[in-house]
Amino acid sequence: MNKSTGNGVSDPSEVRGFLGGDARAIAPLILGAVLTHRSDAGPVSVRLTEVEAYMGPRDSEHPDPGSHTFGGPTARNSPMFGPPGFLYVYFTYGMHYCANIVCGADGAPSALLLRAGEIVEGEELAAVRRPASKAHKDLASGPARLASALGLTTADTGRDALAEPFSLWLPGTPVAAVASGPRVGVAGPGGTTEYPWRFWIEDDPTVSRYKAARPRNRSTAG
DNA sequence: CTCCGGATCCTCT
DNA sequence: GAGGATCCGGAGG
């Protein structure tokens, strides 16, 4: 007997083996997985409904300008160059955090950006962390929302998502209805339909609404 | 419902 | 020094 729970897989070494492959292939299979963070304030669990794959600079067939690793290793992106199953959390727009799960072999950087999910445990705590959210389905319906609901910050970057205080449960059978399309907020080649590396559960209400990348205003124009 | 601008600071060049 | 793998509230239909 292995340590599988019900129809799913919770054994960390099994899960890590699963994450050691191509992020684009893993993405549709990780939908429906449940990521749990047990903080001092209590546990919060999210059922993943939307992810995006980001590849490394070594993939010459599919160079990925949208990836944080495109320019090579830096202090910030170093977790992506490590083994699979670890968190890569970054700070953006001066106020938001976004969380990835590192995929691929050690040294072959790729990751899945956790774009949306449904809170399946710890809804009360998630709601405290997300005071602006007025509906259950919006508690984690966006990458920064999901990170906030789980209480993730850059303090968590580089930490193992498969060990305490985190855990990741994989469904035994893949989600049936998976859709894919261009990644959100990615400008340039990486944002075109040539790179349909955003995957989501079809018709799931927690999936974030698609918004194309928009040029930003220059506040100091003139 | 849609559109739009402001918030706010870390990160890399 | 510029810009970002975003979110939220307000205005208008």
Mean of all residue pLDDT scores within chain A: 91
Q: Tell me the C-alpha distance between A9 and A171, whole Å.
A: 6
- State, as a whole number of angstroms, the distance between the CA of A61 and the C1' of C3: 27
A65 within 8 A of A85, measured Cβ to Cβ: no
Nucleotide nearest to A217 (CA to C1'): B5
DSSP-assigned beta bridge partners for residue A177: none
Which pLDDT score is estimated for A164? 98
Q: What is the 3-state secondary structure (H, E, C) of A18-79?
A: HHCCCHHHHHHHHCCCEEEEEECCEEEEEEEEEEEEECCCCCCCCCCCCCCCCCCCCCCCHH
Cβ of A93 less than 7 A from strand B: yes
- Identity of the residue numbered A156: D
pLDDT, mean of each 10-residue run, chain A (222 residues): 70 98 97 98 98 84 89 96 98 97 96 98 98 96 98 98 98 95 78 84 92 55 38
* Chain C positions with a protein C-beta closer than 7 Å: 2-9
Q: Where are the alpha helices (DSSP H) in A136-180?
A: 143-150
Per-residue pLDDT reduced to its tens digit, A148-165: 999 999 999 999 999 999
DSSP-derived secondary structure letter, A17: H
Which pLDDT score is estimated for A136? 96
Q: Label residue A191 exposed, middle or buried (CB < 10 Å: 0-12, 13-18, 19+).
A: middle
Nucleotide nearest to A91 (CA to C1'): B10
Which pLDDT score is estimated for A216? 57
Cβ of A145 less than 7 A from strand C: yes
* Chain B positions with a protein C-beta closer than 7 Å: 2, 5-13
Per-residue pLDDT reduced to its tens digit, A31-48: 999 999 999 999 999 999
Which pLDDT score is estimated for A191? 65
Which pLDDT score is estimated for A222? 38
Which pLDDT score is estimated for A123? 98
Nucleotide nearest to A67 (CA to C1'): C5
From the C1' of C9, which residue's alpha carbon is nearest?
A132
Cβ of A74 less than 7 A from strand C: no
Cβ of A37 less than 7 A from strand C: no
- State, as a whole number of angstroms, the distance between the CA of A215 and the C1' of B10: 20
Token digits of residue A202: 């079809």
Which pLDDT score is estimated for A209? 82
